[in-house]
Each structure stands twice: as structure tokens, then as C-alpha cells.
A and B are shown apart, each in its own frame.
Chain A
């Protein structure tokens, strides 16, 4: 026999049992403890709306047991209460209402401040709302995308009718429901109608049916994520029909939260659906025809109804003891469950001994999804817009919604509210609490919500939102049947595991250069550098450094942004885009460029090379390529220029050949004249190296003679192999980012992002030389002019240290922080620690000597290495 394990014992299962049904049959009556007052809570709605039945299933907390099918071997336990849910010593909190008024936390834990972190921990544990599982890998469900003309959420009478009608009109339809169709309906006319409608919805009608798929929310697009048991479906529909029906109205009276108080649908589902009696003596209070149906279903299923209240003119089941039709529940008495119910009539009160009270006094729209879809092509159908409508009306409403009608029913009447009892069962908020909050001045639904936390629980206001709205509308003293403004509905409409929200989120995207495999083969330590995977070292940073300074080395710089700019306005574009002068740039000459934004702040840097045919070749930093591409295209549009940008970053590889013997190496592989005259510093030439067409740029970041070889990406590996193979006797070895960091620092070159801040203009970085203010216009020029009128208050400076400092360390003069170290390294060339750092002016002058912890920092001029640039110009 199939069974579940429940707190050390076995509970047998029957076919179609939910976890809640199995436990209830097994004698469990208290399912949870309320989070503040620790009152026992039992099964109530059985429609997945309230939070009374949350249990831990197989380590997952807060599972709605009333809508979770039980499976053989499940391990179920209750949460909340200490030492146990059944016998909870913390229930003493229920007697402390006078000293725990609404807003208790706001009022009590203000001072001393240090008390709050401790109190928060204690309170969090005391709520008993579950412990998040740790130490297990979250199960990632696969996510898929679905596009459809119409998404119908809810497969009740209205939803099925809407889906059928939309499909008949030729639309593709996706119909979803968080349950199997009809699964949560008690036996009766509604279930029969739903089964009949389902027969009409067959797969060949253009309807895709997704049962047990829960709509989490409705977002702009519209976009509706559906969480299923084994997948998450991201639905992009043309329009949405919400047919989520209604939840039975939550009655508010003293003791309304006791185990044994049931909503009608839940009681019928348990008795008639699962065949489990809800008590020996049952009292039924029905306010609607549906309520009378429930009464009839309970009697037919064998429930012992000892008293019933039905609306005037209704036909009761035979032999049912009736009470006056105006009777209403005043209170429920009992210690752990229902012991008796007190009914109020015009002639007085009557107390009836019973152990179950079933209340069915109307319906409240389950309209969270609809309300969060304002302004989107989303309409409602059925009870969600016309609560209490008949089955025929629901079907008609569905068909109308499918035809595009926004079926707005009469506004739902605010539910009746007694003078006591729990308004928000999830968050333990009573009528008294709300009245107190009202008197304290919190007088709108939104702020009452925030102050009392009503509607903020697992049901997301399904039971209590309209109570709260009516109270906010009419105040505490009015007989509030008028419905006020509801609080804003937001996703998720139903509880959803965090791991399901992550479904379909892709891992961090990694770019790889064409030489990735070569780096791995050479023993490179590969790691992320921005969005690229790059080698930091090949095992010996010192030798990599020495190869550049003394011999020859290669580095993969294919990650640089690379752009071809053409079109008849290409020259105008680059002239206007960048602050350097481009007009006088001779063919096949390059120039350092800064990219400034309109505020004159440095966004990126790179090179511009005039190709001589009216086109320009522009490079950017590796991390700035995508921004540069967008930036160039944006300004072409804004200027209205006839220019084209082709992003060649992915097409071209680039290898920097650097070191005093780099020319010697290249001359072995190329017939081209690479001499200092033919290819001078900042020159460019289209050459063939190892049989591969390359654009050679005489530029470099490392301060040595160097050539950047830009070439077709598909031939990168071939070129790399040729360079390494031919340079063996020259002592060639590749260098990675770690060596580069030292090499560039010795030249005083900045790393954008590491050494810079978002509001750096060229002057602060010492790069004013890269700005030609004689140009009539370029992006950022106006801002630079304006800023030039003010003295620098901060600048990037070269630093030497008397001992190795910590990168990021603050720089101090006395006790005053005047800057920060942005880069530092031990320079082999200088034999001393060097760095770059921000320094602020103190009393109008920049300090020349500072302290970084125990280290003394001295401001020096850069470059640290080869200040005249003779090696680079070799």
C-alpha cells in the first residue's frame, strides 16, 4: 500500500489523495501554527489559496499540501511551533495581544538599535514559516518559450469556453491551469459542466493544454511565466484571458481561524471528493445557492449536519435542521478546534455544539493576475470578473472574452466583517489590529498593508484584500459593504520556488578568442577578463616579462574591439566622435584616441588608423567593444551621416609581437619592409606574415618595439604557431595579463575601469595631450571647455613606494584620506614598487608624499620606464 512518512509514522494513501487529504484521514487536524500568535491552524479552503496547510515535503518548505498530490515515499513534516506544531509552547503569544499591539516591531525595537539584529533573528525563528534547505543543489527545471495568439489562464467553465471560442476563430490557443482540469472541483454541476466542456477541447482544435502549470504573473509584453512540475514555460501571447475564478469569501468572526472551520468548497472536496468526514457534528452556514449546493453535497455524502442556515426560498436537503435565514456566525468556541458555534439572529444568540463549521457565503474574485496587467491586452472571464455568476454566465463570459470583449462584471461586494476575528490569516492580523492601525492614522489600504502586513502573506490577499480595502474605504465605525481601492497586485500570484525563477537564465556568457586552445596547450592559466576568457600567465610571469623587455614575446590581443568605418561621411564621423585630430592623419598612420561622452568623461580608448581610401580602422578596449559599436552607430543616426560601421571584433584576430627582437622575428616570416622608416612608430602596413595577410600596426602598450598583427580570425592559430615556431632561438615565449600589468604600469599606461572613475575627464588622467581643443567640434568638447575653467581637484598620479603596498589602499596625509592606490606592482626594471593612484588636492595643492598604511608613497612623473620612449621607437 502506498504511504507517506509523516513525522515518524506511516500514513496510507488512497487514489488521488493530496498530501492534506492523506494527513487529514490520518488524524492530523493542526497543520500549521500561525506566525505571530502561534494559534493552531487546520485545513480551510482546499483550493490552494490560504496558507493554513503549508508543510515541508521532502525538505522543501511551505508546500501547499491541499493541492499537492501525495506520492508513495514522500517525507512530510509540519513546520512552526516549538517544540512541535501539535504542542507549541510559543502559543503563549496568543495571550499576549495587549503587549504585542499592531506595529509591535516598529514600536518596540527602535531603541536600542543594536537590539534589532538580535531580535530579528529570534523573531524569524519563532515564526516557524519554514527553513530553507541548505547544502543541496537547486533543481533547475528546463525553461522553454511558447508563442501563442491567446493564452487562457484557468481551465474552469469560463476558461474552457474562452479557449474553445478563440480556437474556433482560428487563433492558436494555450490553455493552462494550475491543477488538472476539474481536479479541485467538488462533485456537482460545475464539475459535470467542466468535463463536458473539456470534451470539446481536443488537441486538433489548435488548443495546447498545459495542466498543472501555474501562472506566476503577468508582465509587460505581455509575458506570462508558467511554472509546471517539470518545466517552466515562458509564454509570449498576443493577448491573455484570465479565468482564474473566485475563492470563497473568507468570513470574519471571533474564532474564524480555528481548525474545524471550513470554506464550503473545501469541506465538500474533503467529504465528497476524498471521502473523509470533516466532523461528527457539522453546522453549515450558506449564504448563496452555491452554499446550498454544498450543504446538499455534504448531506448526500453522509455528513451529519446538525444545523444549517440557508437563504430564504432555497430548497434544503431532506431532514436538515434549519435555523433562521438571517442567522450569522458570531463566534466559534473551542480550545484547539471547534467546540461550538454561536449564531446570532434577530431574536438572540444560539449556541450549537459541533466540531465542524462550514461557511459558504459568497465568492471573492481571484483576480491578482488581472489586476497586475493594467494597460496590457488582458481581459477577465467568468467569476474573476463576475463573482457568483452562474455556470451559463461563466461560459458566455468566456466566449465574449475570446471575441475580445472586456467583460467587466459588477464590482465585487465587500465581504461582511464581524467585530472580531482574523482578517488576514497568513499574517495573523485581526479586526482589532486593523482598527487600532486606523485609529493611529494609517488610513489607506496601501499603508494599512505596510503597517500591519495584512495581505502580505502566502495568499497574497486572496482572502483578505477586500476586507482590508473596505475597511480602508469606510473606516472602523461604518458598516463597510462598500469596496475600496485594493492594494497593488504584484507577482508572484502564487508561491513559487526561487529556483524556478532562475529557470531559463543562461550562464555567464564567455567569449573565447581564436587562440583559446593554444593558450591551454601552452599551460596558460585562463580566467575571466571582462566577458572574455584570457590567459593570465603561462606559468612564469617573470620570464614572460623578461621575454618582452629583453627578447621577443607574443600576446593574444584578438579581444580588442575592431571596427571598420566607411561611407562618404566616414571622415566626418571620426572627426566628430573623437577628440584627437583625424583630418591630418596620413594614410596608414595611427593615432591614440579617447572616446568621450557628452559630459567630457572618458568612456574608452583605442586607436584610429586612416586606411587611405576614405575608410578608418578603429580599435577599442576589449571590454568596451560592444559599447563602442553602439556608440558609433548611435552618433551616425544622430548626426544623420552617410557612414557605416562594421564590427570586425569577431572577424579579426590580433597578436602583439613585442620585444627588442620582434622585428627580427617578423622579418623571418615576411618579405615586407618592416624597418623603422617603412613602418615607423604609429605607422601601419598591410603585410603578409607566414603567408597570412595582416594589418601590422606599429603600436604597443608595453613600451618596447612592437607590432600588432590584425588578421583573419580563422588563421590566428596558424600565425601563432608560425611566430612561436620561428622564434625559438630568439627566446620567444607568450606573455599573459599578469606580465602585461607590470609592463604597462612601468610605462604609466592606465587600465580604463581599474585606474579610472566614471567622471574622469582627460585632464584628470594626464591625457590632455590626446585632446585637440583647436578642433571646432567633437563629442564632449563643450564640457571640457567648461571644466577647464576650474582647477583640478583630483588627478591620477604615478607613485613609488618604500615597500610593497596593497592595491586599493587609501592614501593619507596625516589622518586625512586624500586618495587611493589603483594599481601597483614590483617593477623589475626599477627594482622598486611602483603604482598609480588617485590623489586629491589639499589646500589647493596636490600632496607629494603620502602614507598607505605603513608604506610611504611618493608622487613621481610617469613613465617610470624608458621615459623618452626610445625603445618603443626603435
Chain B
């Protein structure tokens, strides 16, 4: 039975020259999602957005003074599929092939999304305006799998011990 959990996370977006973004691999306690050569999403625990922005700004602005680093937490919703049926549920929602660990981006539930795979969970980041759509769709599409809605939001946990997902 898969669990559907609302995960609270800070999301920071960095847009800069590729060489500057290469430095972000060392941001503490944030998962690093390289969405494009010149764009990175940093995902960390809730309330840590300002700290992540500060750390990322420090790292990238040396190499690219025109870099843009923004706290984009409001723009993203994170739904997490957990439990033993999580992969079955995800296979109903997307044609993306899940990596063993790391992350992919593409359409999930018909919506552009970032998917971070942890050992015990699949975190899916959606633009916030689709949050309810996705939740409703998970229920419709996975009802026969017995999906269970976890009422209590969970804080983001870095999906790897190093806290980084750079694939």
C-alpha cells in the first residue's frame, strides 16, 4: 500500500553560468538538482531557504556575479510516495524510468515535475498551481492500490547520506 505524504521543503533556484553552478555540489544539507546547464534547484529542509540562498549565493557569485539565486519555495509542492507500493503507484502516474537513486525530470500526472528517488520514498516536486490536481489524480489513478493519505506533513529528508542528488 503506497502512502501519499505532503513533504515540506525549501526550494531555491539558481540560474548562472554552468561553471558557477558546478560549485553548488558542496552546498550543505541540500539536494542539488541540476535541471539545466544553467539552472539548479536546491531542495532542503523547511525554514532553511534563507540559509540555502545565502550559501548558494556565496558559492556562485564569485564565478558569475550576475547569477540569480531565489527562494522559490512558494512555487513548488512536494508530494512523496512512500511505502511498499510506491513504485506501483508511480508507474501509474508517469512514463519516466526511475533511477536507482538520483533524480529525473519529466511529466508526472500530466504535469512537468522533478522526481527525486530516495531509498524509501519517491519525492515528486510539482509547480504549486498543480498541487491539488496531482493529489486528486493520485487518488483517482491509484485508488485500487489502496493509497493511503498521510495527514501529517513530513519535513524533507535528504535522499542520500551526502545530501546531494546531482544526476
Contact = CB atoms under 8 A, between A and B. Distances in A.
A642 B38 CA distance: 10
B95 A145 contact: yes
Interface string A404-420: 00000000000000000
A143 B13 contact: no
Given A234-B95, A651-B75, A646 B15 contact: yes
Nearest to A565: B68
Contacts of B142: 142
Given A511-B130, A516-B132, A145 B75 contact: no
Interface stretch (A243-251, A502-510, A600-608, A839-847): A502-510
B129 interface: yes
B94 A145 contact: yes
Interface string A793-806: 00000000000000
A341 B13 CA distance: 81
A564 B71 CA distance: 13
Interface in B1-55: 13, 15-17, 38-39
B109 interface: yes
A147 B97 contact: yes
Nearest to B108: A506
Contacts of A564: 68, 70
A713 interface: yes
B132 A512 contact: yes
A343 interface: no
A147 B97 CA distance: 6
Interface in A469-519: 504, 506-507, 509-514, 516
B74 interface: yes
A648 interface: yes
Tell me which of A146, A236, A513, A644 has the highest count of chain B C-beta atoms within 10 A of its own C-beta: A644
B66 A642 contact: yes
Interface string B101-141: 00000000111000000000000000111111100010011
B88 interface: yes
Given A147-B97, A567-B68, A652 B74 contact: yes
A229 B144 CA distance: 15
A88 B75 CA distance: 67
A687 B13 CA distance: 23
A645 interface: yes
A566 interface: yes
B92 A142 contact: yes
Given A236-B97, A509-B111, A713 B74 contact: yes
A269 interface: no
Looking at chain B, what size class is its interface with the partner chain? 35 or more
A142 B66 CA distance: 48
Given A506-B109, A564-B70, A714-B74, A511 B92 contact: no
B149 interface: no
B109 A650 contact: no
A143 B92 contact: yes
A514 B141 contact: no
A144 B92 contact: yes
B80 interface: no
B98 to A, nearest CB: 8
A714 B73 contact: yes
B91 interface: yes
Given A144-B91, A145-B94, A512-B129, A506 B75 contact: no
B38 A512 contact: no
Contacts of B141: 142, 506
B15 A567 contact: yes
Interface residues of chain B: helix, strand, loop or mixed (majority): mixed
A775 interface: no
Contacts of A651: 70, 72, 74-75, 128
A651 B129 CA distance: 9
Contacts of A735: none
B79 interface: no
Nearest to A505: B110
B96 to A, nearest CB: 8
B156 interface: no
Contacts of B111: 509
Contacts of A568: 65-66
Interface residues of A, number: 39
A588 B53 CA distance: 24
B128 A713 contact: yes
A512 B135 CA distance: 12
B128 to A, nearest CB: 5
A519 to B, nearest CB: 13
Contacts of A532: 129
B51 to A, nearest CB: 17
Given A236-B95, A652-B74, A509 B66 contact: no
Contact of A644 (B38, B94, B127): B38
B15 A645 contact: yes
Contacts of B39: 644
A714 B129 CA distance: 11
Interface string A134-152: 0000000011111100000
B15 A650 contact: no
A568 B66 CA distance: 6
A254 B78 CA distance: 68
B106 to A, nearest CB: 11
Contacts of B92: 142-145, 504
A509 B110 contact: yes
A567 B66 contact: yes
Interface string A563-599: 0101110100000000000000000000000000000
B88 A713 contact: no
A177 B104 CA distance: 31
A236 B98 CA distance: 12
Contact of B68 (A506, A646, A713): A646
A466 B16 CA distance: 61
Contacts of B76: 650
A38 interface: no
A206 interface: no
Interface in A622-664: 642, 644-646, 648-652
A652 B73 CA distance: 10
B133 A648 contact: no
Contacts of A143: 92
A642 B141 CA distance: 43
Contacts of B17: 642
Contact of B13 (A142, A234, A646, A652): A646
Contacts of B91: 144-146
Contacts of A504: 92
Nearest to A517: B132
A650 B66 contact: no
Nearest to B144: A142
A614 interface: yes
A693 to B, nearest CB: 12
Q: Which of B96, B128, B129 has the most CB of A within 10 A?
A: B129
Given A142-B144, A566-B15, A713-B75, A511 B110 contact: no
Contact of A511 (B13, B65, B129, B144): B129
Most chain A beta carbons < 10 A, residue from B75, B76, B141, B144:
B75
A644 B132 contact: no
A339 interface: no
A273 interface: no
Interface in A753-798: none
13 contacts: A145-B96, A146-B91, A147-B97, A509-B109, A509-B110, A509-B130, A511-B130, A566-B66, A644-B66, A646-B13, A646-B68, A649-B75, A649-B127
Given A644-B38, A714-B74, 5 more contacts: A507-B110, A513-B129, A642-B66, A650-B74, A650-B76
Interface of B: 13, 15-17, 38-39, 65-68, 70, 72-76, 88, 91-92, 94-97, 109-111, 127-133, 137, 140-142, 144
The 6 closest A-B pairs by CB, nearest first: A651-B75, A644-B15, A506-B110, A650-B75, A566-B68, A650-B127
Interface of A: 142-147, 234, 236, 504, 506-507, 509-514, 516, 532, 564, 566-568, 570, 614-615, 642, 644-646, 648-652, 712-715
